[in-house]
Amino acid sequence: MANGSRQAAWEFFGAELKRRREDAGLSQSVLGTRVFVSGGYIGQFEQAIRKPQLDVAERIDEVLQTDGFFERLWRKLIKDQPFTEYFAHAAELERLATSICEFAPSVMPGLLQTPEYARAVFLGSNPFATDEYIEELIRGRMDRALLLKDAARPAYWAILHETVLLIPVGGPVAMAQQLDHVAAMMRERMVVVQVLPFAAGAYPDMGKMMKLMEFEDAPPTVYTEAVLSGNLLDDPTVVKRTQSTYDLLRAVAMSPEASLDLIESVSEDYRRCASTT
């Protein structure tokens, strides 16, 4: 579904939700309480700011007694999106976040990837896919990355394990371009990036990616990912522990200035490698 069509579907969902909520004589706050979300969430659904989720649509049907209308609307018009199902909600939350902090143990975060790096990542997971399918995946990832170029972009902080720099995803030319891209974003003060060096040895929650997102009018959320699955966690205890883990990672990582020097140095190594092959 194209971005414009997807937005139109959200707007239709929101308009119908507002109309039927008001017909039932319920405020956003009251409806939110009954479907186990905040009134602000209901307002964001009605304004087509936040993508509705299936479980919320089902609970809205139950409260408003709409005989499955919102569930059917979700399944017919909203379900289709350019991301894997387990990541789709996290991708929507990225757009609403005021702050995003990521730790990447082995792969460059999607928001920082170049098209060539992304192509190599997708081909690695989909060796029999058509070119059209791979290009569609790349477009979706590059559309996500535009978030960091928006005037209202979130504060973005990434910690990359040194492994991310040294795995030659896509070959030396693609890696040089990828690292140049990250360095340019750092120099333009669009992002803050630190490198966790091999010399740091053991580190908190070894090998596990994490993404912390904070919002203006909603509690912070943690996103973690495993094989073909992802988890959005907003339990305050879990979020607090993850924030503490991220603080420890910041403490043992190289400074942003030293990290930039290393990223540019590794990029130059890739360029020299490419020139000799």
CATH for 31: 1.10.260.40
CA dist list (Å): 208 to 99, 256, 264: 20, 21, 25
What is the pLDDT, as a whole number, of residue 3? 47
Decide which of 78, 109, 133 is a domain's last residue.
78
Judgement on whether residues 24 and 161 belong to the same structural domain of the protein: no
Structure-token pair, residue 157? 């902080």
Decide which of 42, 60, 78 is a domain's last residue.
78
Q: Single out the residue of 30, 35, 24, 29 nearest to residue 71, CA to CA.
A: 35
Q: Are 50 and 96 in contact (CB under 8 A)?
A: yes
Judgement on whether residues 73 and 91 belong to the same structural domain of the protein: no
What's the average model confidence in pLDDT over 16-30?
94
Q: Which domain holds residue 55?
A: 3-78
What would the pLDDT profile of 224-253 be if each residue is shown by its tens digit?
Answer: 877 766 778 888 899 999 999 999 999 999
pLDDT score of 4 more than 60: no
What's the average model confidence in pLDDT over 192-221?
91
Q: Are 210 and 223 in contact (CB under 8 A)?
A: yes
pLDDT score of 189 more than 50: yes
Judgement on whether residues 164 and 183 belong to the same structural domain of the protein: yes
What is the pLDDT, as a whole number, of residue 54? 83
What's the average model confidence in pLDDT over 28-46?
91
- What is the domain count for the chain? 2
Judgement on whether residues 53 and 119 belong to the same structural domain of the protein: no
Which residue carries 């699955």 as its tokens?
A: 229
CA dist list (Å): 145 to 109, 114, 141, 150, 226: 10, 9, 6, 10, 22
Judgement on whether residues 15 and 89 belong to the same structural domain of the protein: no
Phi, psi of 269 (to 5 degrees): -60, -40
Judgement on whether residues 137 and 267 belong to the same structural domain of the protein: yes
* Integer Cα distance of 82 and 143 in angstroms: 10
Judgement on whether residues 8 and 66 belong to the same structural domain of the protein: yes
CATH number at residue 126: 3.30.870.10
Judgement on whether residues 68 and 92 belong to the same structural domain of the protein: no
Element (H, E) at 99: strand 99-104
Judgement on whether residues 47 and 98 belong to the same structural domain of the protein: no
Judgement on whether residues 100 and 193 belong to the same structural domain of the protein: yes
Q: Single out the residue of 116, 134, 160 nearest to residue 258, CA to CA.
A: 160
Judgement on whether residues 167 and 239 belong to the same structural domain of the protein: yes
Average per-residue pLDDT for the chain? 88
Phi-psi map region of 179: left, alpha, beta (phi>0 left; psi -120 to 50 alpha): alpha
What's the average model confidence in pLDDT over 141-152?
86
* Alpha helices (runs of H) in the chain, residue ranges in sequence order: 3-23, 28-34, 39-46, 54-64, 69-73, 85-96, 115-125, 131-145, 162-166, 172-187, 236-252, 256-275
Decide which of 59, 78, 97 is a domain's last residue.
78
Q: What percent of the chain has pLDDT over 70?
A: 92
What would the pLDDT profile of 87-103 be if each residue is shown by its tens digit?
Answer: 667 777 888 889 999 99
Judgement on whether residues 178 and 209 belong to the same structural domain of the protein: yes
What is the pLDDT, as a whole number, of residue 1? 44
* Integer Cα distance of 40 and 217 in angstroms: 7
What is the pLDDT, as a whole number, of residue 217? 80
Sign of CA dihedral 163, 168, 169, 174: positive
